[in-house]
Chains A and B, each alone.
Chain A
Amino acid sequence: QKEVEQNSGPLSVPEGAIASLNCTYSDRGSQSFFWYRQYSGKSPELIMSIYSNGDKEDGRFTAQLNKASQYVSLLIRDSQPSDSATYLCAFQGAQKLVFGQGTRLTINP
C-alpha cells in the first residue's frame, strides 16, 4: 500500500465550478498535512497546510482533514483556468515530507 494515495486524474472541471481533490494516507501518526500546486515546468508551491481535524479556509481554497478516516481533501471554489495544475498532497513523515503522485486538474473555460 502506498503511503499517500491520490487519483492521478486528469480531473476536468468547468470554470466557476467547485474542484474537489482527495487524498488518503496510511500513517496514522501523521500530524501535518500539506497541499501543493505545481504548474508544468515549475516547482511546487504551498497552497494550504492543515494540522487539525475539520475545515480550514483560505480564500477560494478549503482543506478538510479527517484523521479517523485518514483522509484529506482540497476544495477549490469558483475554479479559474489559472487553477489548472497538478496538485500534490503531502504529509509530514519521519524527518521528511511524503508526497502523493499528484492529481492533474484542468479547468475548462
Chain B
Amino acid sequence: GAVVSQHPSWVICKSGTSVKIECRSLDFQATTMFWYRQFPKQSLMLMATSNEGSKATYEQGVEKDKFLINHASLTLSTLTVTSAHPEDSSFYICSARVTGGPYGYTFGSGTRLTVV
C-alpha cells in the first residue's frame, strides 16, 4: 500500500519550454506532497511543500514563479517547470507522508528532466 505514482519517468525538452510532472497517490489521500530535486551525487533538496487546496510553501532560494505547484485534489499534485533551462536538468521526486502506518514518507519513482 501507500503508492505514489509519478509521471513521466523521464523527459527531454527544449530550452524555454515548460514541463509538467504529475504525482498521484493511488491508495491513500495525500493532504501534503513534498517536491524534491536531486543533482548527481547529492542528497535530496526539498523545493516546496504543497497542501491540498492551498498555495505551496517554497524553500528559500526556490523560484515559485518558475516551479509552479498545484495540489488541487487529495490524490494529485503537479509540478510545472516553466521556461526550462539546461541548469534545471535534474531528478525531480515527489513524496507524500502516510499517516497511520509504517510507511513514513513514500516517494514517487522520480522524473529525470533533461533540458537541451
Task: Please tell me if the beta carbons of B44 and A96 are within 8 angstroms of each other in the complex.
Answer: no
Q: B29 an interface residue at 8 Å Cβ cutoff?
A: no
Task: Please tell me if the beta carbons of B107 and A45 are within 8 angstroms of each other in the complex.
Answer: yes
B contacts with A, residue count (CB < 8 A): 21
Residue of A nearest to B93 (CB): A43
**Interface 9-residue window, one of A18-26, A63-71, A76-84, A99-107:** A99-107
Task: Please tell me if the beta carbons of B34 and A96 are within 8 angstroms of each other in the complex.
Answer: yes
Task: Choose among A34, A43, A88, A100 the residue that contacts B104 (Cβ–Cβ < 8 A).
Answer: A34
Task: Please tell me if the beta carbons of B104 and A32 are within 8 angstroms of each other in the complex.
Answer: yes
Q: A95 an interface residue at 8 Å Cβ cutoff?
A: yes
| Mask of A87-102 contacts with B, CB within 8 angstroms, 1/0 | 0101000011101111
Give Cα A49–Cα B42 distance, bound, in whole angstroms.
22
Q: Is the interface of B mostly helix, strand, loop or mixed?
A: strand
Q: A54 an interface residue at 8 Å Cβ cutoff?
A: no
Given contacts A32-B104, A41-B112, A45-B107, contact A101 B43 (CB under 8 A): yes
Contact partners of B49 in chain A: CB under 8 A: 95-96
Task: Please tell me if the beta carbons of B107 and A43 are within 8 angstroms of each other in the complex.
Answer: yes
Give Cα A45–Cα B109 distance, bound, in whole angstroms.
9
Task: Choose among B42, B102, B107, B112 the residue that contacts A44 (Cβ–Cβ < 8 A).
Answer: B107
For residue A102, give the distance in angstroms from its CB to the closest CB of chain B.
5
Contact partners of B103 in chain A: CB under 8 A: 46
Task: Please tell me if the beta carbons of A43 and B46 are within 8 angstroms of each other in the complex.
Answer: no
Q: B39 an interface residue at 8 Å Cβ cutoff?
A: no
Residue of B nearest to A45 (CB): B107
Q: B15 an interface residue at 8 Å Cβ cutoff?
A: no
Determine which residue in A32, A43, A88, A90 has the highest number of CB atoms from chain B within 10 A of its CB, and name it.
A43
Task: Please tell me if the beta carbons of B46 and A96 are within 8 angstroms of each other in the complex.
Answer: yes
Residue of A nearest to B101 (CB): A49
Q: B95 an interface residue at 8 Å Cβ cutoff?
A: yes
Task: Please tell me if the beta carbons of B110 and A42 are within 8 angstroms of each other in the complex.
Answer: yes
For residue A38, give the distance in angstroms from its CB to the closest CB of chain B.
9
Task: Please tell me if the beta carbons of B110 and A97 are within 8 angstroms of each other in the complex.
Answer: no
Q: Which residues of A contact B (CB under 8 A)?
A: 32, 34, 41-46, 49, 88, 90, 95-97, 99-102
